């Protein structure tokens, strides 16, 4: 499998030519790119990969909406769409260690010092009220300053000057932990911010697990071969060799700057906060690099993050409830779980497993295995007919959650609630569901009654 974005795009063009759209007319990166993608989905029901060849104010073409289709992401993992969960789980269970090489396409152009100019990049402003242009598709690659542990993550970056950005570090997450260690030592945290990668790399970066799990090895397993890494020009940080672009950076100790407002995945525009400061020491890129953008809070953003989250939560619940059938993340901070409950209390164990596995999870609904968690109507039906609020809702107070939750009084300090919407005392002993006799269901053919339909 090719490890670069271009080989993946070639596959999409070959297998799903109608899902790759080139726009030649000049477009303004302030609002118009986001507006184009959202209008295309709402008015035409289309979610193609879009390449804007002419973006005002920059020489770089912009690629966006890459991840807005489950079937396209399945192509990246060389599997069927309904096999993505198991494919991702196998990658987490059988990681493939990366391989370091010395020469790489991402080093075809190297800009250092005074040549660094973030204003030469597309100045994309996504939503009304955003404080300025943001880089949304950068994956951070960083090493624990005190150990041989690596972390990869998506972090939003607000361009502040020619060579500085702010960075949003989620409180309590692994990169935040690395930054805390470095800052306590009075050191800058070295990192590479990688833009424009194969979707298997993007999906691997979003793996959620123990801090000592190496997302780079999960990327390799998803690719089916070791991820090729190359050392940065200005540090020992290792980054994907076949990326379109890398910003070689350091997070400055003790420095903070105003960041935001910014319209986030929650659908809300959160206000100004004080965030860490990133100094860009070098920019390296392919000679004809594309600049990737993620359309924040829309399917390009949401679908990419959902698949790794579901795999991690499935793994966590399976450790507590082996008879778990399915896990779905249908909305921000929300998880639906289907289990075949063999013992009283397993539904509550599943709720606790979800809360323990993902900092962001705030609401969990557990249903029986006869309920399809990918059908909102069935989940609502189970809530209405198998749940008593005074008996089946568990509330956890004073817990850590997402600092992007606008309902929390303090950043990330929240309450959480789980709902046991399983049948009591068991599905087998519960009031039976009505149904058409199975033999009638099997023998009746609609075409016999509606010829020509």
All structural domains of the chain: 5-299 (2.30.110.10), 321-453 (3.40.1670.10)
The mean pLDDT value for 93-100 works out to 96
Rg (CA), the chain: 23
* pLDDT of 453: 61
Rounded distance between C-alpha atoms, residue 223 and residue 227, angstroms: 7
Rounded distance between C-alpha atoms, residue 191 and residue 451, angstroms: 64
The mean pLDDT value for 43-48 works out to 92
- Report the 10 Å Cβ neighbour count for 425: 10
Rounded distance between C-alpha atoms, residue 21 and residue 310, angstroms: 29
Chain mean pLDDT for the chain: 93
Please tell me which residue, 412 or 36, carries the higher pLDDT value. 36
Nearest Cα to 367, choosing from 387, 346, 339, 348? 339
pLDDT at residue 1 tops 70: no
pTM of the complete model: 0.88
Rounded distance between C-alpha atoms, residue 58 and residue 122, angstroms: 6
pLDDT at residue 209 tops 90: no
Over residues 323-365, the pLDDT tens digits come to 999 999 998 899 999 999 999 999 999 999 999 998 889 999 9
- Report residue 297: phi and psi, to 5°: 75, 5
Structure-block tokens of residue 203: 């999906």
Dihedral through CA 429, CA 432, CA 436, CA 438, nearest 10?
0
* pLDDT of 420: 97
Of 44-48, 170-174, 397-401, the poorest mean pLDDT is in: 170-174
């Amino acid at each position: 499998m090719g490890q670069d974005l271009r080989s993946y795009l070639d596959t999409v063009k070959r297998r799903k030519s109608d899902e790759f759209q080139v726009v030649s007319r000049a477009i303004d990166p302030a609002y118009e790119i986001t507006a184009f993608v959202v209008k295309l989905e709402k008015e035409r029901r289309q979610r193609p990969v879009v390449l804007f060849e002419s973006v005002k104010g920059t020489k770089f073409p912009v690629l966006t909406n890459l991840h807005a289709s489950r079937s396209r992401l399945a192509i990246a993992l060389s599997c069927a769409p309904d096999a993505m969960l198991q494919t991702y789980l196998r990658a987490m269970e059988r990681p493939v260690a990366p391989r370091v090489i010395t020469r790489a396409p991402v080093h075809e152009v190297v800009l250092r010092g005074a040549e660094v100019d973030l204003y030469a990049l597309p100045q994309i402003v996504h939503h009304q009220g955003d404080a300025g242009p943001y880089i949304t598709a950068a994956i951070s690659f960083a090493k624990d300053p005190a150990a041989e542990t690596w972390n990869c993550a998506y972090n939003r970056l607000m361009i502040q000057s020619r060579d500085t950005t702010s960075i949003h570090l989620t409180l309590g997450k692994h990169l935040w932990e690395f930054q805390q260690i470095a800052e306590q030592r009075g050191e800058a945290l070295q990192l590479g911010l990688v833009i424009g990668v194969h979707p298997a790399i993007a999906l691997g970066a979003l793996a959620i697990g123990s801090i000592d799990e190496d997302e780079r090895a999960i990327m390799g397993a998803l690719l089916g071969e070791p991820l090729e890494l190359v050392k940065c020009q200005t540090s020992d940080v290792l980054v994907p060799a076949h990326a379109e672009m890398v910003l070689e950076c350091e997070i400055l100790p003790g420095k903070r700057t105003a960041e935001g407002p910014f319209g986030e995945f929650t659908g809300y525009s959160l206000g100004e906060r004080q965030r860490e400061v990133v100094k860009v020491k070098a920019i390296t890129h392919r000679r004809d690099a594309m600049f990737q953008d993620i359309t924040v809070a829309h399917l390009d953003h949401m679908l990419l993050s959902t698949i790794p989250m579901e795999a991690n939560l499935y793994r966590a619940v399976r450790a507590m409830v082996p008879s778990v059938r399915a896990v779905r993340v249908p909305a921000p901070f929300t998880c639906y779980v289907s289990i075949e409950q063999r013992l009283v209390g397993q539904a509550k164990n599943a709720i606790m497993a979800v809360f323990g596995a993902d900092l962001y999870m705030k609401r969990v609904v557990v249903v029986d295995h006869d309920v399809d968690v990918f059908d909102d109507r069935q989940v609502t039906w189970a809530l209405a007919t198998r749940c008593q609020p005074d008996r089946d809702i568990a509330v956890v107070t004073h817990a850590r959650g997402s600092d992007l939750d606008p309902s929390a009084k303090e950043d990330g300090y929240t309450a959480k609630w789980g709902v046991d919407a399983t049948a009591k005392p068991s599905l087998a002993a519960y009031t039976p569901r009505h149904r058409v006799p199975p033999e009638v269901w099997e023998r009746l053919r609609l075409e016999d009654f509606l010829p020509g339909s």
